[in-house]
Amino acid sequence: MIKIKKKSVRVQLILLLSFISVITLLFFSVVTFIYDFNETKKNTVNSLSLLTNIMSDNLIASIEFDDEMSAEAMLNTLRLNVEIDAALLYKGSGTLFSSYINPETDAKAVQALMQSNTLFTKEWSLKNFEYLDFNHIFINRSIVMDNEHLGSLLIIVNTKQLQKSFIERVWMQVLVSIVILGIIIFISNYLQRIFTRPIIKLKDVMAVVAKDQQYKLRIDRKQNDEFADLYNGFNDMLGIIEDQHEHLNLQQQQLASEMADKEQSEILAKLAKQQLENITNTIPSVVCQFTFSLGHLMVSFISNSIKKLHYIEPADVLQDFSCFIKSIHPDDQSFVKYTILDAVAKKSNFSCEYRVLLQHDEKISIQDSKIRWVSLQATVITDDEDEGGDSDDCNLFCETADIKDIKFNSNLIDITEAKIAHEKLLEKQKEIQEIHKHTRDSIKYASLIQSALIPENKIFREYFADFFVIWHPKDIVGGDIYLVEALNENELIIMVIDCTGHGVPGAFVTMLVKAIERQIMANIEEGEVISPAKILALFNVQIKKLLRQESIDSISNSGFDGAVLYFNKQKKIIRFAGAETPLFIVQNNSLSMIKGCRHSIGYRSSDINYEFKEHEIDVSDATQIYLTTDGYLDQNGGEKSFPFGKKRFKQIIEKYYTESFADQQEYLLYELGLYQQDEDRNDDITVIGLNI
- What pLDDT score was predicted for residue 494? 96
Provide the strand spans (E) within 569-612: 573-579, 583-587, 590-594
By the 10 Å C-beta count (0-12 exposed, 13-18 middle, 19+ buried), 440 is classed as: exposed
By the 10 Å C-beta count (0-12 exposed, 13-18 middle, 19+ buried), 344 is classed as: buried
User: Cα separations (Å) of 424 from 397, 419, 421, 435?
Assistant: 49, 9, 5, 16
Whether residue 229 is predicted with pLDDT greater than 90 in this model: the reply is no
Are 597 and 653 part of one and the same domain? yes
Are 338 and 395 part of one and the same domain? yes
| Global pTM exceeds 0.85 | no
Are 39 and 135 part of one and the same domain? yes
- What pLDDT score was predicted for residue 119? 46
Domain boundary (366, 381, 402) is at: 402
- What pLDDT score was predicted for residue 409? 60
pLDDT tens digits along 20-30: 877 887 787 77
Does residue 445 sit within a domain? no
Distance CA 542, CA 548 (A): 10
Whether residue 593 is predicted with pLDDT greater than 70 in this model: the reply is yes
Domain boundary (204, 237, 272) is at: 272
Q: Are 9 and 196 in contact (CB under 8 A)?
A: yes
- What pLDDT score was predicted for residue 86? 84
Distance CA 351, CA 376 (A): 5
Whether residue 3 is predicted with pLDDT greater than 60 in this model: the reply is no
- What pLDDT score was predicted for residue 278? 55
- What pLDDT score was predicted for residue 155? 85
Q: Which domain holds residue 364?
A: 281-402
First to last CA, the chain: 108
Are 267 and 296 part of one and the same domain? no
CATH code (residue 290): 3.30.450.20
Does residue 497 sit within a domain? yes
Does residue 260 sit within a domain? yes
Q: Are 479 and 498 in contact (CB under 8 A)?
A: yes
Whether residue 625 is predicted with pLDDT greater than 60 in this model: the reply is yes
Are 388 and 480 part of one and the same domain? no
Q: Is 687 helix (H, G, I), strand (E, B) or coil?
A: strand
State residue 45 phi and psi, 5-degree precision: -65, -40
pLDDT tens digits along 51-101: 888 877 887 777 777 788 888 888 888 877 777 888 888 887 777 788 888
Confidence grade of residue 337 (pLDDT, cut at 50, 70, 90)? confident
Average pLDDT for residues 454-483, to the nearest whole number? 90
Whether residue 10 is predicted with pLDDT greater than 70 in this model: the reply is no
Does residue 331 sit within a domain? yes
Amino acid of residue 302? I
By the 10 Å C-beta count (0-12 exposed, 13-18 middle, 19+ buried), 88 is classed as: buried
Are 492 and 630 part of one and the same domain? yes
Does residue 211 sit within a domain? no
In the chain, the number of structural domains is: 4
Confidence grade of residue 4 (pLDDT, cut at 50, 70, 90)? very low
- What pLDDT score was predicted for residue 269? 53
Are 479 and 508 part of one and the same domain? yes
- What pLDDT score was predicted for residue 267? 55
2 half-sphere exposure, CB direction, 13 A CA radius: 1
Domain boundary (166, 181, 216) is at: 166
Which stretch of 114-128, 155-169, 287-301 has the lowest confidence by average pLDDT?
114-128
- What pLDDT score was predicted for residue 422? 63
Are 301 and 243 part of one and the same domain? no
CATH code (residue 582): 3.60.40.10
Indicate the pairing of strand 370-382 with strand 148-158. unpaired
DSSP 648: H
Does residue 66 sit within a domain? yes
| CB within 8 Å of 388: residues ≥ 6 apart | none
Are 527 and 664 part of one and the same domain? yes
- What pLDDT score was predicted for residue 491? 92
Are 260 and 320 part of one and the same domain? no
Does residue 194 sit within a domain? no
Whether residue 299 is predicted with pLDDT greater than 60 in this model: the reply is yes
By the 10 Å C-beta count (0-12 exposed, 13-18 middle, 19+ buried), 396 is classed as: buried
Average pLDDT for residues 231-244, to the nearest whole number? 76
DSSP 597: B
Whether residue 322 is predicted with pLDDT greater than 90 in this model: the reply is no
- What pLDDT score was predicted for residue 117? 47
Which stretch of 98-107, 287-296, 355-364 has the lowest confidence by average pLDDT?
355-364
Does residue 412 sit within a domain? no
Q: Are 681 and 635 in contact (CB under 8 A)?
A: yes
DSSP 42: H
Distance CA 161, CA 381 (A): 90
- What pLDDT score was predicted for residue 214? 72
Confidence grade of residue 285 (pLDDT, cut at 50, 70, 90)? low
DSSP for 201-231?
Answer: HHHHHHHHHHHH--TT--------SHHHHHH
pLDDT tens digits along 542-582: 998 888 888 888 888 889 999 999 999 999 999 999 999 99
More confident residue, 278 or 567: 567
Confidence grade of residue 273 (pLDDT, cut at 50, 70, 90)? low
What value does the CA radius of gyration of the chain take, rounded to a whole number of Å?
Answer: 48
Are 527 and 632 part of one and the same domain? yes
By the 10 Å C-beta count (0-12 exposed, 13-18 middle, 19+ buried), 9 is classed as: middle
Mean pLDDT value across the chain: 79
| CB within 8 Å of 464: residues ≥ 6 apart | 690, 691, 692
Are 480 and 628 part of one and the same domain? yes
Whether residue 467 is predicted with pLDDT greater than 90 in this model: the reply is yes
Which stretch of 375-389, 470-484, 500-514 has the lowest confidence by average pLDDT?
375-389
- What pLDDT score was predicted for residue 118? 46
Q: Are 308 and 298 in contact (CB under 8 A)?
A: no
Average pLDDT for residues 124-132, to the nearest whole number? 70
Whether residue 420 is predicted with pLDDT greater than 60 in this model: the reply is yes
